[in-house]
Structure 1
Amino acid sequence: MLQRFFIFCSGADTAILEDCSPGENTKYAGIGATVFFTAVMAAIAGSYALYTVFDNLFTAIFFGLIWGLLIFNLDRFIVSTIKKRDNFFDEFLQATPRIALAIIIAIVISKPLEMKIFEKEINQVLLEEKNDMTLANKDQLALQYTPAIDALTAENEALKQEIADKETSVNELYETYIAEAEGRAGTELLGKGPVYKEKREKHDAELAALQELRITNAEKIETNEAQMALLAKEYQDKVAETQPVIDGFDGLMARVNALDKLPWLPSFFIFLLFLAIETSPIIAKLLSPKGAYDLKLEEEESALKSWVAQQKTQRDVLVTTDRDVNNRVYADIAEEQELYDYKRKIARSLLQDQANAFYKKQKGVL
């Protein structure tokens, strides 16, 4: 039962194999087993690849099975269409397009399994890329908020510097009127005279202006700091909003690109393994000697070709003969006087009807 199933997988004609030796049946059962297990590997690889896309187990398994059946059908078609020839070079030329197709299938099958085998290494590469993307994302978002924050910071520094300058000016006025009172400067008269009062009033006015400036600038600084806090919060919210996009950067294409960044030699050997599996049925048919199955198949095809050629020749002869007979029949009929008289009578009647119809039409126009 299992042997018959594998023979079916090989695409061989079971009716012909029934008349062949057990060795021929075993050979094609082995080819069919290779085709079957290649399709199984393709289904597993396709399911994993699709799981990275849909992130749903049942969907991945369903489409993975479809992919495996597609590969099974292609491999079975490739193997069944290779016919043994008397010349190995002719067989190789016949198998060349099929080998190219097998290479493409091997690449498609091996890539998802490579991603599964090197999953930990790929995750490490993806982690580094996500970290770089996170830093780059923060820098790009900072470009939107940094100028406004820097401007507000500079404005606060200017407001604080304005207060400091005003305090320095008030302190200088304080020292001026104190020195006047002590007689160390100005009029150099000890006591609180008119000059002292004038300088004291000027100092008091500037001190009041300083108090007012402190209140005004403190309000402005508080407003700016609130605006800076709001901008900082918007920046953090934007970072938090865009971070899930970076965290989800682990799809099929991202993993394929990450795999390409790993050393190529291990992946190459895995590809060679699947290439050997995929091309093994073709290579087996090319290297195997011409067996009883191939001879019987060739005999049936030759008999069918001969029968088709014979039928075509008979149809050609039949058509040629029928054409010659028809030509002779119509040539004989053309010489009969009775047929000539009959057609002359019909033509006369037709011309009379045409003349009468033309007369009626012209009369109606008038």
Structure 2
Amino acid sequence: MEFVHRTLPQQVYFGAGRAAANLAAEVRQRGASRVMVIASPRERERAERVCARIDVAVWHDDVVQHVPVATAEKARSVAAEHGADLLVSIGGGSTTSLAKAVALTRGMPIVAVPTTYAGSEATDVWGLTEEATKTTGVDSRVLPAAVIYDAELTLSLPVGLSVASGLNGLAHCVDGMWAPRADPINQALGAEGIRALARGLPLIAADPSGIEGRELALYGAYLSAVAFASAGSGLHHKICHVLGGTYELPHAETHATVLPYVLAFNAPAAPEAAGRIAHALGSDSGTAEAAVAALDELRVRLHAPTALRDYGLTEADLPGAVERVLAVVPPSNPRPVTGNNLTALLRAALTGAAPATQLEEI
């Protein structure tokens, strides 16, 4: 074996019911005196409980999906106006992403308190949207210095959104198997992340008030993000960033819908990765077909999102989407991507065609 692996420095706290205490300890350790808390109006009550033991200089609740540049600039101005020396983000991926946008230019540390299974809290990837184009980048300044996981904070997340968010995390694991910097270490983390999410999500669906499934999902989401941050962004994420930024599709649902089609596209050309994915999903077989079938079975069991048309994408949008995705496809993708096979992939995701049928057709 020969590879170069990159591990990101980050403090991780994990414990149900421990968010307020762990946040207070982290703020005290950092000696922060001007804390800016970013939380959407929907998260405000929960955020106030989490922040009960710290002094908050300013609350900011203008959180928008895919982080429009104007939204980022507004948050940056608030941080400057109040002399903030620490950002605390409490919420899902959009909230974490807004904190990252502030840190990108202000250079202040972030303490992320996730309430979904998005995983963005464990990456150094930022994203901003302007004029229907989502731009992403990697910068050490946006990696949260600390992450506080508390499964109790996810109990109010509806099952449907929990499933979509968890499959978004699972997409990080799958994409990391063949992303530009994939290596045996992040592949191992990704496989364990798949196992945790594949166990945790059905438990959440069966018992939304149970802690075990929520903890497994958070654990899996963290592993998925660490694997993704190391491996880089693969074809799946390039597709979803285009669809989200250009057509304003919902983030988690888009990832959950597109994932099986990218797996069906790449798995035959990456048999070792397909085997890891299949076994992590509980299959006795390690074939590409088994990986696709196991993921599809999980999605059916969870009543997961199945068609992009349910979220506003149309057949007329496909040519533009194909053009934008082709411009950012990683050269290292296991299978060559063309206008024709990418159109077929997106059309299948648009209509919700059975992913298994795409193994040979795409």
TM-score > 0.5, shorter chain as reference: no
Query: Larger relative CO (CA 8 A, sep 6+): 1 or 2?
Result: 1
Task: Give me the TM-score of the superposition, normalised by structure 2.
Answer: 0.15
Kindly name which structure, 1 or 2, has the bigger radius of gyration based on alpha carbons: 1
Task: Give me the TM-score of the superposition, normalised by structure 1.
Answer: 0.15
